[in-house]
Amino acid sequence: MWAQSSRRDLALAALLLIALVALPYIFPHPAMRDFIIYVIAYGLLAMSLNLLVGFTGLVSFGHAAYFASGAYIFGLLMQSGEVSIPVAMLATVGGTALLALVIGAICVRLHEIYFAFLTLAFQMFIHSVILTWVSLTGGDQGLMGGIPRPPFLGIDLGNSMTLYMFCVVLFVICLVIMRQIVQSPFGYTLRMIRDNPRRANFLGVNVVAMKLAIFVIAGAIASVGGIVMALFVSGAYPEFAFWTTSGEAIFMIMLGGTQLFLGPLVGAILLQTLNHFVTIYTEHHGLVLGIVILIFVLGLRRGLADYVYELIQSRKAAAAEPKPRAEPAQATFTDETRLADKGANT
Amino acid sequence: MIKTKRGVSRRNFLKGAAGAAAAGAVGTTITGFPHIAGAQAKTIRIGMPTILSGRVAILGTSSRSAVQLAVQQFNEAGGLNGRTIEVIYRDSKGRPDEAAKVTRDLINNDGCEIIIDGEASSGSFAVQEVIRELPVLCLHTCSESSTLTADPKLHVKTAFRSARQGVHDAVAGGRYASELSKQKGLKRWMTCSPDYAYGRDNTAEFLEYAKKFDPSIEVLDQVWPKLFQPDYTENITKILQVQPQAMYSALWGGDLVAFIEQGNLYGLFNNITYFSGGLGDPPVLTAIKQLPVGLHTVYRYNELYPNNPENAAFAAGYKKLANQEPTNWSWQNYLATSFIFEALKRTNGNTEGAALAAEVKGMEIASPFAVEGKITMRDSDHTIIGYPAAWGVTVPKFPYVENFQSVPWSEILELEAEWKKSKGYA
């Protein structure tokens, strides 16, 4: 069953890859490519955060620390001139995973607000290190001088089209990995921990180890987002590690939804699109974005993807059911847990 | 009999139409309308990424007003052989990645052929890297970080800085302060600057040159309030406890206003000779309810210095347009447009980055803000020299700062050359 589902996911991933590769040929404007790369970077940040928030119930306020770690480690390695891009990427993902392991080992033992605030504290600690270790990080001015992109295996990331293709491939690989994780027995164990950690514990699940594992995986994937951003802006900046970047990722999840696999990506697209257009027309973008988020929170009470999915499901259910009978009203699909049971697999 | 549906159902048609419309809308809005290539376009488009929201929005708004004034004057005077200039402003929110994205968007999507980079330091480094890849003419107008243009590794052929530079201010400040310290016997010093790279670097450079000119200066203590700190009581009481004869502060903007207001309550400025690296901006000076007399500040902007009709006209025009006093960023942006307009005239409207850069490189301009006749865009490192590197003293009413003393540029350049050698830049 799982193998069948995996094959379907791989086929969908291949289709997505083909669509993204074809897009610049349909809309050959460079701005389209820039926009997609930007969405990919923040999309990976939001989706990796959702592995914690949506699938494990760990609300991390400090996830951008790993995004920044990805950008800085990759940038510093490339500026050293000692390593090639693939080696730097592997070292970055490995280094960030190690960082997440150390931080996670301390944080995942805590619950709810204590976990959230400790992750935030670690993020601000990393932000302070970036600001004060000027000789290494460039302090508040960031990594200066650009990030070299020497060609490797015939791939020249100095070419903007090649960079786009590279980022798209990287994105789809990360999507497949995340999808396999949430669909695996490990992914279902995470949901069980989210819904009832005590029961999971009684069933013999090592809850702390599971939480730590997903914390490390999420951190490593966020670092790939950081690498994409570093390649795009050819630099790394302390703002990447500031709490507002984590806040943006949480906004993306709120806009897109936590229960569907692609929900945070929808949120990332929504937020970046809103940001793009609102900024053109007004300086009061904070106000506009605030109102939009308020509408989602108060009006929809969930992210857009969750809302649409639920709507489709309820219509399908209504169509499939025979005419209403004089029986007690059935539970509706508004129950979040039920949505999670059905929707998280989607 | 099985009835086979042929054609497209109403529902599917609507779905398809909605999808196509959405894709079209997204496609059009993201890709933008195709812009006409520079050579044929009647309007020349300039893009300006800057900070228009948040705590340092005054940097962007005062920069934008100055550019608006200059472009309005240029267009009203007939433009360039009938071609007018249009400026597209974008808010980067003070985020370097957003600055990079917005700059790329201005060039790729909006068809801007020239960039005026009104970003603070970190944003300007991000914009510099975009210009390296998309080589249009770019003038950085707000970043005072010396590294941006002094470090040859960061050099970009089509990027220039039309803004004051940290090392120039440090030499001028050190020289000015040392003369006073020798004259008044100010041996015991203290500093109070914001705790981030700019605050620390700016303070270190000021002290380096002050001590170079007067080795008897001794720094007793240094306090580092956080950036955007609302309460300075702790720092002020520490200064009063140490009782220095003089102090230097790199505080700026709202932080500086708060520090001086709170310092007034403690009589901080009664017995201390105060040197400021950020007080000289008219909006800051006018925001302080009781501006103490006799504070020493670096020149940021003053409509009576340099005292010439062109500078007064700039101030009057700016105030009429923006309904506020010009800032340091205002004159720097206004100056940047002068370089751009002159380069466009010399290339006869050719907006190609390399062509414009070739003209801006080494260009000398008779500007309202020049202290020694002209302001030069130095060809060796693409930064301006000849602007007011001066210090003055506060007075309670307009013009708020007077008695400006300018350090000769020959001396600044000599010490700058030594500094470059020490940093390995030359």
Of the pLDDT bands very low, low, confident and very high (cuts 50, 70, 90), residue B32 is very low
Whether A29 and B96 lie within 8 Å, measured CB to CB: no
User: Residue A141: its pLDDT value, please?
Assistant: 83
SS3 A289: helix
Pick from A42-46, A162-166, A200-204, B400-404: least confident:
A200-204
In B, minimum Cα distance to A23 occurs at: B27
**pLDDT confidence tier of residue A323, bands split at 50, 70 and 90:** low
Bigger pLDDT: A72 or A299? Answer: A72
Chain A residues touching B132 at Cβ < 8 A: 146, 234
pLDDT tens, position by position, A4-19: 777 888 889 899 999 9
Lowest mean pLDDT among A93-102, A250-259, B61-70: A250-259
Query: pTM to 2 decimals?
Result: 0.83
Q: What is the mean pLDDT of residues A284-292?
A: 84
Contact of B348 with B79, CB cutoff 8 Å? no
- How far does Cα B254 stand from its chain's mean position? 16
Contacts with B125 from chain A: Cβ below 8 Å: 141-142, 144, 235
pLDDT band at A40 (very low <50, low <70, confident <90, very high): very high
Contacts of A160 in chain B (CB under 8 A): 133
Residue B112 has a pLDDT of 94
- Whether pLDDT at A292 is above 50: yes
For residue A158, what is the nearest residue in chain B, using CA coordinates? B133
**Which residues 187-206 in chain B show a CB within 8 A of chain A?**
196-198
Across the interface, whether the CB atoms of A31 and B105 are under 8 A apart is answered yes
Please give the average per-residue pLDDT across A124-142, as a whole number. Answer: 88
Q: Please report which confidence band the pLDDT of residue B226 belongs to, taking 50, 70 and 90 as the band edges.
A: confident
CB spacing of B91 vs A285 below 8 angstroms:
yes
The CB-side HSE value for B124 (13 A sphere, CA atoms) comes to: 27
Query: Which SS3 state, helix, strand or coil, does residue B381 take?
Result: coil
pLDDT at B6 over 80: no
Residue A308: its pLDDT value, please? 85
CA nearest neighbour of B69 among B381, B341, B256: B341
Using a CB-CB cut-off of 8 Å, the residues of chain A touching B131 are none
Q: Coil, helix or strand for B377?
A: strand
pLDDT score for B24: 42
- Dist CA B270 CA A27 (whole Å): 67
Whether residue B340 contacts residue B114, with contact meaning beta carbons closer than 8 Å, is answered with yes
How close does chain A come to B339, measured CA to CA in Å?
25
Q: What phi-psi label fits residue B375: left (phi over 0), alpha (psi between -120 and 50 degrees) or beta? A: beta
Q: How far is the C-alpha of B34 from the C-alpha of B47, rounded, in Å?
A: 16
CB of B275 within 8 A of CB of B207?
no
Q: What is the mean pLDDT of residues B219-245?
A: 92
Asked if the Cβ–Cβ distance from A235 to B125 is below 8 Å, we say yes
| ipTM computed for the complex | 0.79
Closest chain A residue to the Cα of B122, Cα to Cα: A141
Q: Say if residue B415's pLDDT is above 60.
A: yes
SS3 A268: helix
Which residue of chain A comes nearest to B108, CA vs CA?
A31
Per the CB < 8 Å rule, is A32 touching B101? no
* Whether pLDDT at A325 is above 80: no
Contacts of A20 in chain B (CB under 8 A): none
Distance from the Cα of A287 to chain B's closest Cα (Å) equals: 11
What is the layout of strands, in order, in the sheet containing B296-298? B218-223, B188-192, B246-249, B273-276, B296-298, B390-394, B401-406
- For A100, the 3-state DSSP assignment is helix
Predicted local confidence at residue B330, as pLDDT: 96
pLDDT for the residue numbered A263:
87
pLDDT, average across residues B317-337: 95
Highest mean pLDDT among A154-158, A236-240, B62-66: B62-66
Of A134, A140, A229, the CB nearest to B97: A229
Query: Could you give the 3-state DSSP secondary structure of residue B157?
Result: coil
Q: How many CB atoms lie within 10 A of CB A81?
A: 8
Chain A residues with CB within 8 Å of chain B CB: 26-27, 29-32, 34-35, 38, 131, 134, 139-142, 144-146, 160, 229, 232-235, 237-240, 273, 276-277, 279-280, 283-286
| Residue B304, both tokens | 């009576």
DSSP class of A63:
T
Question: What pLDDT is stored for residue A1 in this prediction?
Answer: 58
Evaluate if residue A334 carries a pLDDT over 70.
Answer: no
**What is the band of A335 on the pLDDT scale with cuts at 50, 70, 90?**
very low
Mean pLDDT of B56-78: 93
Whether residue B373 has pLDDT greater than 90: no
Q: How confident is the model at residue B72 (pLDDT cuts 50, 70, 90)?
A: very high
With an 8 Å Cβ cutoff, are A234 and B108 in contact?
no
Subunit contact B151:A145, Cβ cutoff 8 A: yes
Could you tell me how many CB contacts below 8 A there are between chain A and chain B?
Answer: 109
If you average pLDDT over residues B242-259, what whole number do you get? 92
Cβ–Cβ under 8 Å, residues A170 and A21 = no
Cβ of B30 within 8 Å of Cβ of A29? The answer is yes
Lowest mean pLDDT among A49-53, B14-18, B128-132, B312-316: B14-18
Interface test with A, best of B52, B122, B198 (most A CBs within 10 A): B122
The pLDDT value given to residue A186: 93
Of A114, A223, A219, A246, the residue nearest A170 (C-alpha): A223
Q: Which residues of B touch A276 (CB under 8 A)?
A: 30, 105
Closest chain B C-alpha to A122 CA, distance in angstroms: 19
Distance in Å from the first CA to the final CA of chain A: 14
What integer pLDDT is reported at residue A106 of this predicted model? 92
Least Cα separation, residue B2 to chain A (angstroms): 22
Q: Which one of A127, A278, A283 would you mutate to disrupt binding with B, by most B Cβ within 10 Å of its Cβ? A: A283
